Amino acid sequence: MKLKLMALLLAGWTSVPFAPAIAQTAEPQVVASDRANSPQRPIEFAQAPAPGAALAVMMQGAKLPAGVGLEPANASAIEAAIAAQGFKGEAGDELLLRGIASVPAVVLVGRGEGPQQLREAGGRAAQALRSVRAPVAVLGLSDASDMAEAAFGYALGQYRFDRYKSAATPPPADRVQFVGAQAPAARTEWDARKAHLSAAVALTRDLQSEPANSLHPGSFVARTRAAFAGVPGVTVEVLDDAALRRLGMGAIVGVAQGSPHGARLMLVRYRGAEGAPLALVGKGITFDSGGLTLKPNPGMWQMKADMSGAAAVMGAALSLARSRAPVHVVAVAALAENMPGSTAQRPGDVVRTFGGQTIEIRSADAEGRLVLADAIQYTIDRYRPFALVDIATLTGAASAALGSEFAGLFAREDAVAGRLSGAAAQSGEAVWRMPLHPAYAKAIVSDIADIKNSDATGAPGASAGAHFVGHFVPENVSWAHLDIAGVYWRDSDRPLEPKGASGFGVRLLDTLARSWQAP
């Protein structure tokens, strides 16, 4: 009897449809959330504040700006608080007052000068009033561009990733109004570009934040495709694992082969102008465990965001396309999950790339450069870009060298480095140039293959990685490499980047593409 049952169970085991073939299945068994993030405050522009609104006053010095239209009793209560607290109203200063006057809350923010400081003032206002359950009126700006920049900062600063929070009451989402005589012109500026740019940054942050049991190469493609649906001028090409094998892309296929999720290459072209495109290629490792070269446990969870480069190029393309920018770009996501397992690639393996070059795998954890190698060669072969910028969470060394204030910039040509630095200054996403010295290329010389992916000879890691990537970009294509390992994630709130995924690169690449098109 017992034996018979056992035999039955065993026979069933081989055929039951729900018996997992491999320990990690391609889809999660129980979906952890069926919701989107909670709505944020919609951004509006108005001539006068809504009744009952909390106030954010943009200050330039300690005196309330003229013509903000506060009731006299409120104005004098706020002035008394300014004096009592010694508030100076310089850039970065912030004073939150609650239970004062007849408004739910007042925050005074030093607005400083120039677009970046105005954005940050907007972001500070958003974060100070995050939990105030009332509409918000932002006062004190008379110039249309200033209003639009503050609104842009507000949008970036109020981002949240809360779709996995099951709390009963969602956070406040009453509207925020930017109040001033120039409201119509500010709205025009907002609608033309900044609304799209901030929505694109939010998409990038969503993709970065999403856990890797929900976001793998296939679901990255599905979600990104949905974001581009119906946007004019956009065409999408996706190569799945079988297609990548057929085309001989052994490097990206090799990275994915330890995972039940196959690799993908996703190419989104936005053609808003004639001429050769600018190619933006992003590293898209949806989880980097290190593969058989397994990473240590502390911080491994953050490697769910090792696809931040891919998310950034898709965000930039979305912003350009939705705002109908007169540019031609192709954004490329090189997607794979880097997992250990009996089918994973081994140190010592040799793989062959799309272009026929061989790579000796010395570290399964130097996988970003591998997926980029195939992605770059395919992009150049099929799309013939005049220039290519790759962006990747490539090396811990870049983060060790530069900390969290700069992405590492590598370029062969000074003129290219200059373009990137210019876009960085305009967008507020900072870069610092690092050396591509020929001596550091020795790090990738292999004894048995054309090139190897890692070494232990003491060459600086970020430069060695850059050399490896540059090896696949012919000299006649202008090229820049951005290593964002130090900036893709924020450990605490910043005015434009709440704690968590930063969306780094979307603003920088959006700005770059608008000013750098085929000659």
Q: Active-site positions?
A: 295, 369
Q: Does 288 bind Mn ion (CB under 5 A)?
A: yes
Query: One symbol per residue from 273 to 302: x for binding Zn ion (CB under 5 A), - otherwise; what is it?
Result: ------------x--x--------------
Q: Does 209 bind ligand BES (CB under 6 A)?
A: no
d(CA 96, CA 376): 49
Count of residues that bind ligand BES according to CB under 6 A = 15
Distance (Å) of CA 498 to CA 64, 159, 199: 28, 7, 15
Q: Does 395 bind ligand BES (CB under 6 A)?
A: yes
Q: Which two tokens stand for residue 420?
A: 């990137």
Stretch that binds ligand BES, among 63-71, 268-276, 365-373, 416-424 (CB under 6 A): 365-373
Near Mn ion in 367-426, by CB under 5 A: 367
Stretch that binds ligand BES, among 54-62, 85-93, 235-243, 363-371 (CB under 6 A): 363-371
Stretch that binds Mn ion, among 360-368, 371-379, 394-402, 416-424 (CB under 5 A): 360-368
Q: Does 306 bind ligand BES (CB under 6 A)?
A: yes
Cβ distance 421 to 433 under 8 Å? yes
- The option from Mn ion, Zn ion, ligand BES, none interacting with 454 (CB < 5 to 8 A, set by class) reads ligand BES
Tell me which residue has its CB nearest to Mn ion. Answer: 365
Query: Given CA atoms 203, 24, 333, 418 in this order, what sign does their dihedral have?
Result: positive
Helix (H) or strand (E) holding 358: strand 358-360
Q: How far is the CB of 397 from ligand BES (least distance, A)?
A: 6
d(CA 166, CA 27): 22
Tell me which residue has its CB nearest to ligand BES. Answer: 396
- The option from ligand BES, Mn ion, Zn ion, none interacting with 363 (CB < 5 to 8 A, set by class) reads ligand BES
Q: Does 210 bind Mn ion (CB under 5 A)?
A: no
Q: How far is the CB of 288 from Zn ion (least distance, A)?
A: 4
Q: Does 368 bind Zn ion (CB under 5 A)?
A: yes
Q: Does 483 bind Mn ion (CB under 5 A)?
A: no
Helix (H) or strand (E) holding 72: helix 72-85
In order, the DSSP letters of 302-348 are GGGGTTHHHHHHHHHHHHHHHTT-S-EEEEEEEEEEE--STTS--TT
Q: Where are the alpha helices (DSSP H) in 158-306?
A: 183-189, 195-209, 217-228, 241-246, 250-256
Q: Which two tokens stand for residue 56?
A: 């954010």
Question: What's 388's DSSP letter?
Answer: E
E strand map for 445-517: 451-452, 478-483, 489-490, 500-501
Binding stretches for ligand BES (CB under 6 A): 288, 306, 363, 365-368, 393, 395-397, 399, 454, 461, 485
Name the residues that contact Zn ion, by CB under 5 A. Answer: 285, 288, 306, 368
